[in-house]
Amino acid sequence: MYNKYSKKAQEFIDDKEILDTIQWVKDNINNKQLISEVLEKAKQLKGIDHREALLLLECPFEDLNNKMYDLAKYIKNKIYGKRVVLFAPIYLSNYCVNGCVYCAYNHKNKDIPRRKLTQEEIANEVKVLQDMGHKRLALELGEDPVNNSIDYVLESIKTIYSIKHKNGAIRRVNVNIAATTVENYKKLKEAEIGTYILFQETYNKENYEKLHPYGPKHNYDYHTEAMDRAMEAGLDDVGIGVLFGLNMYKYDFVGLLMHAEHLEAVMGVGPHTVSVPRIKDGNNIDSSKYSDAISDELFKKIIAILRITMPYAGIIVSTRESQQVRAETLEVGVSQISGGSKTSVGGYTTAPEEKTEQFSITDERTLEEIVEWLLKLGYVPSFCTACYKEGRTGDRFMQLAKSGQIVNCCNPNSLITLKEYAENYALDNTKNIANKVINEELETIPNEKVKNLTRKYLEEICDGKQDFRF
Ligand code: SF4
Ligand code: SF4
């Protein structure tokens, strides 16, 4: 029985409610009046529910779809302005005891060399990432209680935060590790991680179990209830996601939204971020056998509706996607992208070794190229990590976001961190464009006090100081 307040996976992700939602949408798909009312409701920036969201996703009317895209662009612009936050993944180990059939790191894949970084190797990777200009990392590793123990994860986080190479510093480490216990989540909290990220892959229990045939990840309930345990442990910024292409997309789209509604209902705050990876080839992984892979057009529509449904959640698209898809999805909702990424263990310091990649990358540009591209598209690339440092997490962050006040922090912070990037890492051409954008955007800060302080910080960055924030 569907109950979003329940702590049981199969009640807050109720199979019948998802199937009923799909049927309800089929029954109402020609109801233009109803679709228009949903769009009208969404204009209030308070989100819409999973039934309304699927109705928009399935909407066959071109005029209403155009209105939907306009609304997504309006919401994106109103809440995020021109800012795009940048990050990079860092792969620590590809040892894994699970059997995820879509992942090159699955235990039975004997063709992939297994590797786990030492703390020294991690430090070297971090130096390379710092030299690119990164401030925000997403830590990735397989599930293996022996090779990738929680102590190894904690030690690695400590190493990452400790490296101060030239002007560099990693200021936020988001962590993507397997579902674990409240006790371990508390340890991650103490280690001062940013967002705890865990993808559901698919919300359909039967398919989930087939796709994860053995290993701890086989346990659907334990995996699906992980965010409740993480939040109970005090990790109030959590990131959810599904791997599109594994199951029928409508089912997973609705499941994803029901998961977000559950967290909001029970914990008082929804997910901090939502990721929308699409399945890609990897070592011994042929993505073409997944018949439910979604088209670029549908992918863009999904992102636009996620933006409408969860106006305040960051939406992340990785380098799995092409430059063109990233450009189109940035317009309708994406707020964070990775840049200069390597998806293999030790990928930043060792020669390209395709065999250890978890999945193949489509956007292979350097961070510098991505920053320049974003600037030319009219965006402000941001390396901001201020909220965690200022204690703006969980419901405190959401209150500020929903009241619109967070913009007073995000905008100046994006300029400050872009300035740091321009001064310390950018080539001349990018630096010139960045400085032009910074000067223009500075004038648009409405609050005189904030504007003057930002100006002062920008000048001090030119004198070699850094780490200013609002
Ligand atoms: Fe292991 Fe994660 Fe790959 Fe599954 S998706 S095989 S848990 S690394
Ligand atoms: Fe993100 Fe907070 Fe920085 Fe805004 S101020 S970009 S919400 S970290």
CATH number of the domain enclosing 91: 3.20.20.70
Specify the residue with its C-alpha closest to ligand 2, atom 5. Answer: 410
Query: Is 47 within the bounds of a domain?
Result: no
HSE, CB side, 13 Å, CA atoms: give it for residue 105. Answer: 25
Contact (Cβ atoms closer than 8 angstroms) between residue 103 and residue 201: no
Mutation test residue for ligand 1: of 93, 102, 106, 200, the one with most atoms within 8 Å of CB: 106
- Rounded to whole angstroms, how far apart are CA atoms 289 and 291? 6
CA 290 to ligand 1 centroid distance, Å = 17
- Rounded to whole angstroms, how far apart are CA atoms 312 and 270? 9
Pair (328, 263) in one structural domain: yes
Contact (Cβ atoms closer than 8 angstroms) between residue 74 and residue 121: no
Pair (393, 344) in one structural domain: no
Pair (171, 101) in one structural domain: yes
Contact (Cβ atoms closer than 8 angstroms) between residue 79 and residue 47: no
Domain extent for 421 = 388-462
Question: Hey, CA dihedral for 192, 193, 195, 200, is it positive or negative?
Answer: negative
Query: Is 468 within the bounds of a domain?
Result: no
Pair (203, 316) in one structural domain: yes
Question: What's the count of helices (H) and strands (E) in the chain, helices before strands?
Answer: 20, 9
Pair (216, 340) in one structural domain: yes
Pair (350, 397) in one structural domain: no
Pair (214, 351) in one structural domain: yes
| Closest to 257 in 3D by CA, of 279, 236, 242, 277 | 242
* Ligand 1 close to Cβ of residue 200 (< 6 A): no
Pair (116, 238) in one structural domain: yes
Pair (214, 164) in one structural domain: yes
CA 387 to ligand 2 centroid distance, Å = 5
- Rounded to whole angstroms, how far apart are CA atoms 333 and 263? 21
Domain count, the chain: 2
Pair (403, 348) in one structural domain: no
b/e string for 175-185 if b means 16 or more Cβ within 10 A?
bbbbbbeeebb
User: Which ligand gives the minimal distance to the CA of 174?
Assistant: 2
Q: What is the mean pLDDT of each run of 10 residues along the chain (470 residues)?
A: 97 98 98 98 95 98 98 94 96 97 92 94 97 97 97 98 94 97 98 97 95 97 98 96 88 98 96 91 71 84 97 94 95 96 92 68 93 97 91 85 83 96 96 97 93 96 92
Phi-psi region at 313: left, alpha or beta (left = phi > 0; alpha = psi -120 to 50): beta
Residue 87 corresponds to which tokens in the numbers above? Answer: 């990050």
- Rounded to whole angstroms, how far apart are CA atoms 416 and 414? 6
- At which of 310, 345, 362 does a domain end? 362
- Rounded to whole angstroms, how far apart are CA atoms 132 and 424? 9
Query: Is 7 within the bounds of a domain?
Result: no
Query: Is 187 within the bounds of a domain?
Result: yes
What is the structure's pLDDT at 245? 83
- At which of 362, 379, 399 does a domain end? 362
* Ligand 1 close to Cβ of residue 96 (< 6 A): yes
- Rounded to whole angstroms, how far apart are CA atoms 366 and 307? 27
Query: Is 297 within the bounds of a domain?
Result: yes
Query: Is 218 within the bounds of a domain?
Result: yes
- Rounded to whole angstroms, how far apart are CA atoms 410 and 271? 19
What is the structure's pLDDT at 394? 83
Query: Is 66 within the bounds of a domain?
Result: no
User: Which ligand gives the minimal distance to the CA of 177?
Assistant: 1
Burial of 68 (0-12, 13-18, 19+ CB in 10 A): buried
Phi-psi region at 8: left, alpha or beta (left = phi > 0; alpha = psi -120 to 50): beta
The type of residue at 21 is: T
- pTM for the predicted model, two decimal places: 0.95
CA 434 to ligand 1 centroid distance, Å = 38
- Rounded to whole angstroms, how far apart are CA atoms 81 and 407? 8
Burial of 151 (0-12, 13-18, 19+ CB in 10 A): exposed
Residue 239, H or E segment: strand 238-241
- Rounded to whole angstroms, how far apart are CA atoms 344 and 353? 8
Pair (134, 241) in one structural domain: yes
- At which of 362, 380, 409 does a domain end? 362
CA 147 to ligand 2 centroid distance, Å = 34
Pair (253, 296) in one structural domain: yes
What is the structure's pLDDT at 434? 98
Query: Is 406 within the bounds of a domain?
Result: yes
CA 383 to ligand 2 centroid distance, Å = 9
- Rounded to whole angstroms, how far apart are CA atoms 234 and 215? 27
Instruction: Supply the DSSP symbol for 363.
Output: -
What is the structure's pLDDT at 252? 96
